[in-house]
A and B are shown apart, each in its own frame.
Chain A
């Protein structure tokens, strides 16, 4: 029976109404539960999923409209029918404005009730079918862990799939958080090397000498602290793919070493004499303008051309806003699984704000914002306030108020940290300063990693010296 799984919650303070309506609906094949007041109804809506809520308008405590508003906040797709003893235009208008599906005047005609329930069920069936179709469509928009329906990204997926079949070096360009490593992993998985290792190295994280031994390994005793022979990332990636992240940040000596490996496909461990041959596919990535760095003499031109065999530029999220709803849906689904929490999505105003945001931290920032929202959300729907998105005006002092340069800097640093979910490296990059400088500013202004004021130090005048 098609109605078997349709769940209806009946809320009325009169027992006789709960009993007669509940009984009638049960015989109609619905799963029915009844609640005597608004508060217990909200508790049941928080804990379980309902298709239809039939609620009395006039009840002591929470009235029908309040239940309606709270229920819609918790489960936007819930069809709410308001029951009223006397139909007045005012109550009908108020109910419909608050998002009610319809209203019924007590006592109601059995035919009216029957038709209304069937209409709701068939509409909800259509919505479900639509969801299934959208899921199928999402597969079309997917390249491994990447998801996009923008034409620019679709052609990147095509290029990446083709490039994956070759052994050529790929240079992935894109802003921080745009998914460069995710793309590199997707290419690896799609390539004939998928069975081999995928090894990722962040070139910006280490000093030049540490990075050298990290990449090439070292022989025992080759430097102080080299107590044992150690394999480098190049050797570890043998037969697979080596992902060199932030390749634009490496120093001149390593640039030369890297150029040699790319040319000869062999290298020496630090302190070693015997050349080691490797079969490695290189995918490099950077958020820097390597061509400009080459022109300025900061990056070797010959290395640039060695890396720039197949360049793939990932557009920033703000240039493909049409992907935001798709990504939100995807992340919310994943967060629900990871957090073992019921999450149905984001509210309409939250979605508008997400669409309007500029996303300097790109997809990673979007994920961080949603993760925060998922943690903070009290119901199954993430509300605008849960996201902690700074209002547009927050980073800037309001027009007409005069703030000192320090005050503006303090607010901006806090706002950027808030945007990146407390990611200091990413925030430093956005601010165009190094991490040490950012840490100093955070200490100076008493700002925590989450962008909030640290109550311990924020108001201490010594801290701002």
Chain B
């Protein structure tokens, strides 16, 4: 089974503990080998000067070009992300593709008050959520499922870090391929 690579592509120094947490969560959720990917390049061309945000679509294309040739890749950044039609996104993924990106920029809301474990938890959830899209899952209405819609941090905090049984079952056919 092809591994999931986790790649820090933020501008600040990577937080090894945070990245390790994300990797372990992905390994458990998708029952696949996972590994860190290291590369010094950063997707700076994706920065939109007018919006002062990074275009997540450009980052996805860049991840495919510059990242691992095999398996799937999750880029993790500290830069704020957008897609042209929305003011911001927590992350974006190629539905049924190979790449996803997730950002901590908006997940740090209230982290100072609650403590760093809140960011760890939120990032793990959004990482599993975006990789769920990569593995073909769409948003799920089962209460608590990590594939539930989470347009704001409130919804992120409300859901679990796990896939519900139905989403897990939907993953299985592709694993047999």
Contacts and interface: CB of A to CB of B under 8 A. Distances in A.
Interface string A191-218: 0000000000000000000000000000
A29 B84 contact: no
Nearest to A20: B83
B84 A1 contact: no
A27 B138 contact: yes
B95 interface: yes
Contacts of B133: 27
Contact of B138 (A17, A26, A106): A26
Given A20-B83, A20-B86, A28-B138, A111 B57 contact: no
A28 B87 contact: no
B152 interface: yes
Given A3-B139, A29-B138, A29-B139, A24 B83 contact: yes
A20 B141 contact: no
Interface in B48-75: 57
B172 to A, nearest CB: 17
B87 A107 contact: yes
A2 B93 CA distance: 22
B171 interface: no
A305 interface: no
Nearest to A114: B151
Interface in A406-420: none
A114 B84 contact: no
B85 A106 contact: yes
B82 interface: yes
A110 to B, nearest CB: 4
Contacts of B57: 19-20
Nearest to B154: A111
**In terms of DSSP, what is the predominant structure of the interface of chain A?**
helix
Kindly name the residue among B57, B83, B89, B133 whose own CB sees the greatest number of chain A CB atoms within 10 A. Answer: B83
Nearest to B149: A114
Interface residues of B, number: 20
A132 interface: no
B37 interface: no
B111 to A, nearest CB: 20
Contacts of A21: 85
Contacts of A86: none
B47 interface: no
Contacts of A28: 138-139, 149
A293 interface: no
Contacts of B138: 1, 3, 26-29
Contacts of A110: 86-89, 151-152
A16 interface: yes
A80 B138 CA distance: 23
Interface string A289-325: 0000000000000000000000000000000000000
11 contacts: A1-B138, A1-B140, A2-B141, A16-B84, A17-B84, A23-B83, A28-B139, A108-B85, A110-B87, A110-B151, A114-B149
Interface of B: 57, 82-89, 92-93, 95, 133, 138-141, 149, 151-152
